[in-house]
Chain A
Amino acid sequence: MKKLVILGAGTAGTMMLNKLEPVLSKEEWNITIVDQYETHYYQPGFLFIPFGVYNKNDVIKPKRDFFPSGVDVMLDSIDKIEPKKNQVILKSKKILNYDYLIVATGCKINPSETEGLNEDDWYKNIFDFYTIEGALGLAHFLKYWEGGKMVLNITEMPIKCPVAPLEFVFLADWWFTEQGIRDKVEISFVTPLDGAFTKPRASKVFGDFLSKKNIKLIPDFSTGRVDHKNNKIISWDEQEVPYDLLVTIPTNMGDEAIERSGMGDELNFIPTDKHTLQSKEFENIFVIGDATDLPSSKAGSVAHFEADVLLENFLSVIDGRPMRAKFDGHANCYIESGFGKGILIDFNYDTEPLPGKYPLPGVGPFSLLEETKMNHYGKIMFRWMYWNLLLRGAELPIESQMLMAGKRK
């Protein structure tokens, strides 16, 4: 029997499991998936929790609901990978041998990386919304907040879902308006980038949205420390921004198990071939989703497009064939812009987000780089697709490779 081990049963790992399980012969393959948690979180839903749109039950399901039968499931944490021995050592000391390994250990926020962040005021007037705890804490805080200075800061890049911070301030503008306190809240968007987003045209469009919504953009601000006693964030070059409520996107890092295995870069992301998704160092290791060091967005849509490529390449490799599928860096993001509207962007390594129609060229129903009600419905519908199609590895009616058709230059 050949052994395939998948590390991590988040979005990427679960999708890969459900794509591979039906096509690998049961007589020849033993598949094991490892994860330390029992609950699967619909992470795109965290954004809506602070504003009471979703509650906890809307974003959780048991992971076991998404595991096909006949797969070995290990509810355990990973101590380390020993890639030269083709072994994974679990915290319980159990050793898993593998012929092939798929690493899908994701990334997470690490507030301890920033001086003054993970201290007394963490979850008092400083919150993240990238964890269920942070999102729920923020919901509770906002319910009773009477206004003041709300600052959102991106500590450093890269971060998971790079559009989520923009969505957060757009939704906050809407929510404070609905609460009747928008005139009492000053919203600032603090980023280490030189504009609202990484790519020029989208950055311009989002920058215009920020100013239209009276949200102050503070670019080129790399957060060095948080002075939580005096309620201000301070950049490495000593600029200061005062806050009453700090919504922070802390440093994002890959799993500590990657560091323990000596397989990661300085942020614990694994050096990965950006087209084949094979580890740069080990031929029998593949990496998918947020765990890679690819210059693409860390997002579920990216993991989904990667999964199609990885499936094809994995099947080639086990047959002793060269890998032919190439990931192009395709990402597709619905951006909530508040007041029941949304913006959609579609891009890859080489093509920045452009205006147009998606997925059907000229038809839509979604509009690229434009604010429409339909884009918002797309986002709302997506939760159903995520639970019922995406995680289960079903084919979605969109291409993994980005298409130029329907886009305007």
Chain B
Amino acid sequence: MATREIAGVTVEIDENGYMTDHTAWTKAIAEAFAKEEGIDELTDRHYIVIDFMRKEYEENGTGPSIRKLNKQSGVNTKELYQLFPGGPAKKAALIAGIPKPQGCV
């Protein structure tokens, strides 16, 4: 299993660079991931999404789709794309410390 340094700690990551143990996640890690993705500051709106993603992952073993986020997280699709430009489900999962959502075939 590969590891990397982020926010001063060492975490295990998968081949896509996503954390494999979501319990090792901290807000400092989230902020460091966000910076790498070009998001300078994580606002309360970002954290609504991040918290929802983590809760979904803990309950269902997989991150939610954008559609589910839109319906249930309190942040609509339009805003999701503003908060996490270029792919909300993938980017928010990375920042939230959960695996990349399963791509459908």
Contact = CB atoms under 8 A, between A and B. Distances in A.
Contacts of A220: 86-87
Interface string A306-342: 0000000000000000000000000100000000000
Q: Which of B67, B72, B77 has the most CB of A within 10 A?
A: B67
A267 B67 contact: yes
Interface string A196-231: 001100000000000000000000101010000000
Nearest to A299: B105
Contacts of B85: 237
Q: Which of A158, A220, A224, A266 has the most CB of B within 10 A?
A: A266
Nearest to A297: B105
A202 to B, nearest CB: 10
Contacts of B102: 295
Given A237-B85, A266-B67, A266-B71, A199 B105 contact: yes
Contacts of A224: 77-78, 81
A236 B78 contact: yes
Contact of B67 (A156, A199, A235, A297): A156
Interface in B49-76: 65-68, 71-72
Contacts of B105: 158, 162, 198-199, 295-297, 331
A158 B104 contact: yes
A95 interface: no
Contacts of A199: 105
B38 interface: no
Nearest to A162: B105
B103 interface: yes
Given A198-B105, A236-B77, 20 more contacts: A156-B66, A156-B67, A158-B104, A193-B103, A220-B86, A220-B87, A222-B81, A235-B81, A236-B80, A237-B81, A237-B82, A237-B85, A265-B68, A266-B65, A266-B67, A266-B68, A266-B71, A295-B102, A295-B104, A331-B105
B102 to A, nearest CB: 5
Interface of B: 65-68, 71-72, 77-78, 80-82, 85-87, 102-105
Contact of B104 (A198, A235, A237, A331): A198
Interface SS of A by simple majority: loop
A157 B68 contact: no
Contact of A157 (B77, B81, B104): B104
Interface range for A: 20 to 34
Contacts of B80: 236
Interface string A148-181: 0000000011100010000000000000000000
A275 B65 CA distance: 22
A221 to B, nearest CB: 11
A356 B67 CA distance: 37
B84 to A, nearest CB: 10
B2 to A, nearest CB: 19
Contacts of B65: 266-267
Contacts of A295: 102-105
Contacts of A157: 103-104
B78 to A, nearest CB: 6
Interface in A261-304: 265-267, 295-297
Nearest to A238: B81
A236 B84 CA distance: 11
A162 B105 CA distance: 7
A236 B104 contact: no
A236 B103 contact: no
